[in-house]
Chain A
């Protein structure tokens, strides 16, 4: 049963790691804007052939 001491220690350390990851994400501003990234990812990449489009006055 002594193995439980090790397991408990590991579980607490792992949980602390996850908490630290959350801290990092929050400090990094990842939770500041919860809406825009969802829209942004839907944009297409720019098409290179459009480059030659000319404007008629």
Chain B
């Protein structure tokens, strides 16, 4: 019954999957399905078989679904999708999730062999993007996409990808600034070196020259490289708060002014070396913090789930593709099998059977009758239907969730991080010390020494360690998490993770494993009947049918004489005098009472009731251990959009006192999290679907759980691979340790600063002391944070 029965395993040449049925053979190569064979044939025709040389079985299995791509030739949509177009050529960038190996790279860069109208194609491997230059007169966009689909690289075209954020440009500017500040630092160090060693009388003639050169470099570092610090500091002062950039900007300003004064008046060498070094290190800290994942998107919303265009039926009944945003109330639209309903609408024609799994979390498809309202986000299963739109896309039941204020809140308004909190006290303390020491020297009548002490204190008490050690520590943690399949949006999330005390779980897809459902059959099936059932189920694309096929793996395949699928009800088929009925209870045996027990498939063969398949959701393997270790320290909650049938099973895993809520709408989930937060809980929400999007956004730390990180995940702060869920307690411990490390490094930095301040208040801070103290403390901190992070990672058994 299971796959272990298949003793000889043959692998598909294209995708490397086990071939369970009769293999298809072309050129002495075995293929598991027509799809794989088709791709091979296209490649062979175009002399592209090197594709298979770089990696064995590089292809990915694609279930064939009919695509309606007419919309790609609509000028309005076309111009939104392409990057550039003129008479002769068009440039477009596609996101292709299937890119995973060097073979993919090779094939996608040889597209010109498949169609000569492709002039050039270039892959960005990490971003999983391909940039294609082609002639759109010879090869319309639709045909180009069809070529990509035919070779197994379906581009992902969604509304959100049209609006690409230009984060790259920001990053480039930062790198430019780092380069310039590094350049300034290197040169200033060179020209300051004679000063450190002490100048002989002969060399004194150079002192002025070196001084002016240093000042030139220092002004570049101040006015160009550290511009962002001034802007940010000014912005925060206007809002009457002090962030970490405020003291940094103050120090850079003081350093520059004092250096300029000393050099212009010829009083001394100035602090150009400290200034440029500081700016360079600070910018490095910023850069480390900006580290992002190219291939993961944390900001997806409903738009990425929705198609770019829908098929509109105009007055004459002709199908016209229109962009989804142009959809008006009263429009007649056509929704085919497997397409998503884009807006709340009324069913006008056809039998509707909708899979709302990613809207509500409810796993069972719902059938709808004519005149019923269909909420946006449902996926039609079965025949093509006609709908009349009653609400615009942005006002629909599902998308209204994004109008909630939780989505309008900017990321910054979540709890303040350690740095910004400490920066306030730090700045005030430093300014106080500076004023006191200046006041002391003035009182003593030594005005110049007063000025000296004032500026020296500000210079030496630099919180640069905070600006550097925090991003370094946190980005190391990010790297550790990354290797363990836990991806955080940015470094602030680590601090957030250390702070949580409440964990809210979504059920479907989050703690239950969507792939390995537990199928059981109640009743008896002979071997022959088994193959009958398997052959029927194989013909259907319904998710339940597919699971039954998988479960009855390896049965003989019989060809049905007649086959009829009634969407939302079941399948009837005839095999050489045998009649097979499969489907819902009411469909299989109409006289029986219709029990609304979800996820069952009943079977009747030749008028005789044989039993039913039941799908039990299986919990993720690590769930039990996870709950055992989490329940000690954290308050747990379960909210589910699904029915409460499995409450009993859940009780086995979760302790009794854990609150469990069922039949929760996306809005309910959001409000539940909000309620918890009002009660002073710091909430971490684990969810998977669009139905959790509101709760994920509202929570203090939203974690999207997924089995394939390239899949769609709703907007969240972090993405956790399902298999790594058991490590969650270790992740939290590591985050807590990271915060501890930051605090320790702050202590060490304070000690260095106190030494510096000791000289500074006496007005005896020489440029050399500053130039030695600052790198010393920085190096100590970098080494310490690195070692400590590694130690903790080892302790928590995180690779």
Interface set of A (CB-CB < 8 Å, partner B): 1, 4-5, 8, 11-12, 15, 19, 22-23, 26-27, 31-33, 35-36, 39-40, 42-44, 46, 50-51, 53, 55-57
Contact = CB atoms under 8 A, between A and B. Distances in A.
Contact of A56 (B26, B126, B172, B213): B26
Contacts of B190: 11
A23 B186 CA distance: 17
Interface stretch (B174-182, B281-289, B414-422): B174-182
B176 A35 contact: no
B74 to A, nearest CB: 31
Nearest 4 CB-CB pairings of A with B: A36-B125, A55-B44, A33-B124, A35-B126
A50 B110 CA distance: 15
Interface string B158-182: 0000000000100010011001100
A40 B176 contact: no
Contact of B176 (A8, A26, A42, A57): A26
Nearest to A1: B202
A42 B106 CA distance: 10
Contacts of A22: 179
A34 to B, nearest CB: 8
B109 A40 contact: yes
Interface of B: 26-27, 41, 44-45, 47, 49-50, 54, 102, 105-106, 109, 123-127, 168, 172, 175-176, 179-180, 183, 186-187, 190-191, 202, 205-206, 209, 213
Given A31-B175, A40-B109, A55-B27, 19 more contacts: A11-B190, A12-B213, A15-B183, A15-B186, A23-B176, A23-B179, A26-B172, A26-B179, A27-B172, A32-B168, A33-B125, A36-B124, A39-B125, A50-B47, A51-B47, A53-B47, A53-B49, A55-B45, A56-B26
Could you say which of B26, B125, B209 has the most chain A C-beta atoms within 10 Å of its C-beta?
Answer: B125
A12 B179 CA distance: 15
B126 A42 contact: no
A4 B206 contact: yes
Contacts of B176: 23, 26
Contacts of A43: 54, 102, 106
A32 B179 CA distance: 15
A5 B175 CA distance: 31
6 contacts: A27-B172, A39-B102, A39-B105, A43-B54, A55-B26, A57-B41
B41 A42 contact: no
B412 to A, nearest CB: 28
Nearest to A32: B168
Nearest to B183: A19
A50 B49 CA distance: 9
B286 to A, nearest CB: 17
A35 B168 CA distance: 16
Contacts of B54: 43
Nearest to B191: A8
Could you say which of A8, A12, A36 has the most chain B C-beta atoms within 10 Å of its C-beta?
Answer: A36
Given A46-B50, A56-B27, A35 B125 contact: yes
A8 B47 CA distance: 60
A40 B44 CA distance: 22
A6 B186 CA distance: 19
A34 B168 CA distance: 13
A49 B54 CA distance: 18
A55 B205 CA distance: 82
B145 to A, nearest CB: 22
Contacts of B125: 33, 35-36, 39
A32 B171 CA distance: 10
Contacts of A4: 206
Contacts of B127: 33
A53 B102 contact: no
Nearest to A53: B47
A42 B213 CA distance: 46
